[in-house]
Amino acid sequence: MTISPRAPAGNLRVVGLGPGPEAWLTPEASAVLAEATDLIGYAPYLDRLPPRPGQTRHASDNRVELERARHALRLAEEGRRVAVASGGDPGVFAMAAAVFEAIDRGKPAWREIDIAICPGVSAMQAAAARVGAPLGHDFCAISLSDNLKPWAVVERRLNAAAIGDFVIALYNPASKARPHQIHDAFALLRRSKAPETPVIFARAIGRADEKITITTLAAAEPGLADMSTLVMIGSSETRLIARAGAQPFVYTPRDARASA
């Protein structure tokens, strides 16, 4: 009896880069990115990472998450140490779900791969930190993209979020292909939420072109949202603290009776 040679033990890590700056990249993520033999990701995310000798980069377009995930799984199966770089937290509207979709639909051997998710600071957390504490109490996160779900599902969730009086974080609020989603979302929310509800547009947080706009639901201008923007809409409790010569703080009290 001969023992067949085992394939080298590869692995796959789905790594959260956070919103941009290295100051928000966890030590776990840094270590995994340094030790990987192969980096896979959307090209602008890979561009953030310093080149390393012997490390292979596989940059891809933004629209091909599932194919990118399959590529990563094939490399790990061949014995490579693969890091899939994801913006923000890979578990929140990002690459981790795509990797598990690929495993679920893929060949059984992929379930045996050594795989782990390295969490990161997500866009809503960074945006919240910049303005105060708008996510200080019950909140929800909704992706406005209807590439992967019918708009009726988005409407159902926006209505439920209004009924529940959640603070709402909107991911993927608009793109060139979908300029009307955020307009329609504001129109829907205006039917049930107060006109003075605080609205925050947080664009490119942590990057050189960071821009924050604090306004109200009545005045919110859909054109302020693009692919790099996170939009937050307050609950009935969310409050502003005015400051002289500075952007107001925005926070949601922990105490749902505080403003009652």
**Which positions from 149 through 188 interact with a copy of itself, judged by CB under 8 A?**
149-150, 153, 156-157, 159-161, 163-166
Contact region for a copy of itself (CB under 8 A) — 45-53, 147-155, 189-197, 219-227? 147-155
- Mark residues 98-117: x for contact with a copy of itself by CB under 8 A, - for none: xxxx-xx------xx---xx
Q: How many residues bind a copy of itself (CB under 8 A)?
A: 78
Query: For the chain, what is the total number of helices (H) and then of strands (E)?
Result: 7, 13
In the complex, least distance from residue 239 CB atom to a copy of itself, rounded to whole angstroms: 7
Is residue 140 a contact residue for a copy of itself (CB under 8 A)? Answer: yes
Distance CA 230, CA 202 (A): 5
The token pair at 2 is 């001969």
Among 28, 184, 210, 226, binds a copy of itself (CB under 8 A): 28
Cβ contacts of 129 within 8 Å, gap of 6 or more = none
Is residue 210 a contact residue for a copy of itself (CB under 8 A)? Answer: no
19 within 8 A of 88, measured Cβ to Cβ = yes
Positions 72 through 101 that interact with a copy of itself (CB under 8 A): 89-94, 96-101
Is residue 65 a contact residue for a copy of itself (CB under 8 A)? Answer: yes
Tell which residue, 233, 257, 7, has the closest CA to residue 131: 233
Q: What are phi and psi of 204, to 5 degrees?
A: 50, 45
Helix (H, G, I), strand (E, B) or coil at 11: strand
In the complex, least distance from residue 137 CB atom to a copy of itself, rounded to whole angstroms: 7
